[in-house]
Amino acid sequence: MTESLLDNNMEKIKNLEENYKVITEKIQNAQLKCEYKTKEVKLLAATKTVNPYLINHAASLGVKNIGENRVQELLSKYDEIEKNDVSIQFIGHLQTNKVKQIITKVDMIQSVDSVKLAQEISKQAQKNSLDMDVLVEINIGQEKSKSGIRIEQAEEFIAEISQLPGICVKGLMSIPPICDNKQQIRKYFSKIYEKFIDIRDKKLDNICMQFISMGMSDDYEEAILCGANIVRIGSALFGRRF
């Protein structure tokens, strides 16, 4: 490692340590305030553009889940990530033809948004004799620029893909539209929470609704108040991406 890179990392590590402390406190406080009495809120560090050195440092501080959103980037960092104590998850849009490249490298795919993708995950999971945990991505704002299925179709979609061998549906993930007020973002989060409870309480076969992954750097406290139990945080932890 060159000296300037090392200096740069030292600065980043100092910030990371401070940010981690602030974020974990805010998560705890939001959890205490949440009327749904969420038992555990998982912090997932969104690590796009973050180097493995910093990722490993985050893990040493206590981060137990990391999320990558590009296959190429995940593969390029994979060997350098210390995997003893962290769960690596995929959180970005996943092309069907790339499933086989990550199937043995991730513990959960949070971004299942089509039957075709689910079928390929099922196929590759079986080939590797494993069960893959998945979340279904909901496009709650029905934005053309985002992937995910419509919330009205969530139950039917989940019932369909849960029949596939090698797949274990564990919950919902969503990235709501950018909102300029907290009330509006809460409406989106609450809709997702209601759908989650709705599906969970039907106790469908082969479905174990455990996780609601919503909330990022700017809105994770709102998300937790609305029932999120996985928050995916990038820039608030590692600093702004350039």
Ligand X SMILES: *Cc1c(COP(=O)(O)O)cnc(C)c1O
CB-nearest residue to ligand X: 234
Choices 77-85, 177-185, 186-194, 230-238 (CB under 6 A): range interacting with ligand X: 230-238
How near is the Cβ of 111 to ligand X at its closest, in Å? 7
Instruction: Please state, in angstroms and rounded to a whole number, the distance separating the CA atoms of residues 80 and 51.
Output: 9
Instruction: Please state, in angstroms and rounded to a whole number, the distance separating the CA atoms of residues 240 and 2.
Output: 22
Measured from the CB atom, the residue of 173 and 207 that comes closer to ligand X is 173
Is residue 24 close enough to count as binding ligand X by CB under 6 A?
no
How near is the Cβ of 236 to ligand X at its closest, in Å? 6
User: Judged by CB under 6 A, how many residues of this single chain contact ligand X?
Assistant: 13
Is residue 232 close enough to count as binding ligand X by CB under 6 A?
yes
Beta-bridge mates of residue 88: 66
Which amino acid does the sequence have at 71? Answer: V
Residues 170 to 229: which contact ligand X by CB under 6 A?
Answer: 175, 216-217
Positive or negative, the CA dihedral 197, 174, 147, 207 is: negative
Measured from the CB atom, the residue of 89 and 124 that comes closer to ligand X is 89
Q: 195-213 burial string, b = 16+ CB within 10 Å, else e? A: bbeebbeeeeeebebebbb
Choices 56-64, 112-120, 156-164, 231-239 (CB under 6 A): range interacting with ligand X: 231-239
Is residue 235 close enough to count as binding ligand X by CB under 6 A?
yes
Cα–Cα–Cα angle for 53, 20, 90, rounded to 5 degrees: 60
Would you state the torsion angle of the CA atoms of residues 107, 109, 115, 117, taken in this order, to the nearest 10 degrees? -90
Measured from the CB atom, the residue of 109 and 161 that comes closer to ligand X is 109
How near is the Cβ of 127 to ligand X at its closest, in Å? 26
Residues 41 to 100: which contact ligand X by CB under 6 A?
Answer: 46, 48, 69, 91-92
- CB contact at 8 A, 216 and 46: yes
- Closest Cα to residue 175, out of 41, 67, 62, 51? 67
What is the SS3 assignment for 14? Answer: helix
How near is the Cβ of 165 to ligand X at its closest, in Å? 27
Q: Which H/E stretch holds residue 222? A: helix 220-225
The pair of three-digit structure tokens given for residue 132, joined into one six-digit string: 């893959």
Measured from the CB atom, the residue of 123 and 238 that comes closer to ligand X is 238
Measured from the CB atom, the residue of 94 and 164 that comes closer to ligand X is 94
Measured from the CB atom, the residue of 110 and 122 that comes closer to ligand X is 110
Which amino acid does the sequence have at 4? Answer: S
Q: Rule CB under 6 A: which residues touch ligand X? A: 46, 48, 69, 91-92, 175, 216-217, 232-236
